[in-house]
Amino acid sequence: MDASTQTSPSAVDAEVVTRLATLLVGFGANVQPDQIVEVRANLEQTALVRKIAELAYRRGARFVDALYVDPWVRRARALDAPEDTLEFAPQWERDRLRQLGEQRCARISIVPLVPFTALEGVDPVRAGKQPTLPESFQLIVDRTTNWTLGPGVERSWAQRVHPELGEEDAYARLWADVIHVCRLDGADPEAAWRERFAELTRIAGALNDARFDHLRYRGPGTDLTIGLLPTSIWTTGTETTVAGIEHAPNLPSEEIFTAPDPERTEGVVSSTRPLAMAGGALVTGLRVTFEGGRATRVDAERGAEALEHQLGRDEGARRLGEVALVDATSRVGELETTFYNTLLDENAAPHLALGGAYPQTVADEDRGRVNSSIVHVDFMVGGTDVEVTGVTRDGREVPILRGGAWQL
């Protein structure tokens, strides 16, 4: 199927597209007058991108740079480009990222950028080889841009999530899912998010007060301890730039996360949900073994090579940079659906990330100790069947999640 034939939303969608665009521009990125706004999306998302552009200009944006990704050009590269060029990116792409930060721009990205169908049948190792630009991660670390990531509903994704439904029904159903998880169903989505973030901030406060030495995960196929740093700070889904602009980097966001000690992860963790790599490859049945903080072994039913390739990019790629907790009252968790999309799935269940940490999740004195890598791969640990326990420095065990419910 050619994705480009289906970019026009039905009349039913137009109002929902406006609600989603309004949330992303006004609350997610919180676009300011005179800012440059970069919008990244694939060619399915023309209706959403155009609405974002219109709303951003109406807020006084100086320039909206709409960058469309064509998944089929990406496919042509994966199929036909010389092997040794697959990770090349032109200098101007790196310069742009640097300048986005220097010029304090706003950024809005719509995922998935590359839908599943675009890379079907491509050698997964070739498909997984793509440029990873350090400037991209640095932008997040530097907190120079007010940015957000939102979901873009498209038919190929909808059919993956709801294969039992026909094309139109699956599409309508995925829109309904997105309306639910992005809280677009109420009168004031922004107010709904402020309320949810306040609730998560309370739990994060309790976690910070407890100052755990390490966490313990127990569940089917999982027996893992993760050491925390002395100043690991539990953080929720709002962020403030160095210029003082509040924004919500992920919509939806139901997680409370921090940076672990990259030297102190031990044991085995099984991922209960499929992991969709940025390159389009799907990793299922993932099982990772850690020794001394390092992922020494990666097994998967499918897609292990694509993940291994990422983990081979630098030394930090094999260590944890993020540990995130999610309770089962999250709107994503409620749906009990696998979305094959990290933005949504990571909000259904506790997850971990291999690769670079967000330095703001520790205090200054530990900033040199967090994990560093150009890679950041989130994977889900499990659902309500995984127990998470905090262990204090003096050995006291404090239940954090049981049956998906906060115990704090």
Question: What is the C-alpha separation between 277 and 152, in angstroms, rounded?
Answer: 17
Tell me whether residue 385 is exposed, middle or buried, using C-beta atoms within 10 angstroms of its C-beta: 0 to 12, 13 to 18, 19 or more. middle
Residue 250: DSSP 8-state: B
Contact between 2 and its own copies by CB under 8 A: the answer reads yes
User: Which range, of 65-73, 162-170, 210-218, 277-285, touches its own copies by CB under 8 A?
Assistant: 65-73
Contact between 61 and its own copies by CB under 8 A: the answer reads yes
Identity of the residue, 56 or 200, whose beta carbon is nearer to its own copies in the bound complex: 56
Identity of the residue, 13 or 223, whose beta carbon is nearer to its own copies in the bound complex: 13
Contact between 395 and its own copies by CB under 8 A: the answer reads no
**Cα R_g (the chain), whole angstroms:** 20
Contact between 89 and its own copies by CB under 8 A: the answer reads yes
Figure out which of the listed residues 4, 240, 329, 392 binds its own copies, where binding follows CB under 8 A. 4
State yes or no: cis peptide before 9, omega within 30 of 0: no
Given the DSSP bridges, would you call strands 214-219 and 222-228 parallel, antiparallel or unpaired?
antiparallel
Q: Give me the phi and psi of 324, to 5 degrees please.
A: -130, 135
Question: What is the C-alpha separation between 381 and 25, in angstroms, rounded?
Answer: 31
Contact between 141 and its own copies by CB under 8 A: the answer reads no
Closest distance of CB 109 from its own copies, Å = 15
Contact between 121 and its own copies by CB under 8 A: the answer reads no
Tokens of 394: 């003096």
Q: Residue 372: helix, strand or coil by DSSP?
A: coil
Identity of the residue, 45 or 373, whose beta carbon is nearer to its own copies in the bound complex: 45
Diameter over CA atoms, the chain: 61
Strand ordering across the sheet containing 214-219: 294-299, 287-291, 260-270, 222-228, 214-219, 387-391, 397-402, 405-406
Give the DSSP letter string of 10-41.
Answer: PHHHHHHHHHHHHIIIIIIS---TT-EEEEEE
User: Which range, of 96-104, 261-269, 333-341, 372-380, touches its own copies by CB under 8 A?
Assistant: 96-104
Figure out which of the listed residues 14, 58, 220, 312 binds its own copies, where binding follows CB under 8 A. 58
Identity of the residue, 45 or 272, whose beta carbon is nearer to its own copies in the bound complex: 45
Identity of the residue, 73 or 243, whose beta carbon is nearer to its own copies in the bound complex: 73
Contact between 18 and its own copies by CB under 8 A: the answer reads no
Identity of the residue, 139 or 228, whose beta carbon is nearer to its own copies in the bound complex: 139
Identity at 119, one-letter amino acid code: L
User: Which range, of 63-71, 252-260, 261-269, 345-353, touches its own copies by CB under 8 A?
Assistant: 63-71
Identity of the residue, 25 or 224, whose beta carbon is nearer to its own copies in the bound complex: 25
Segment 224 to 243, residues that bind its own copies, using CB under 8 A: none
Residues in contact with its own copies by the rule CB under 8 A = 2, 4-5, 7-8, 34, 36, 43, 46, 49-50, 53-54, 57-58, 60-66, 68, 70, 72-73, 76-77, 79-82, 85, 88-92, 95-96, 99, 103
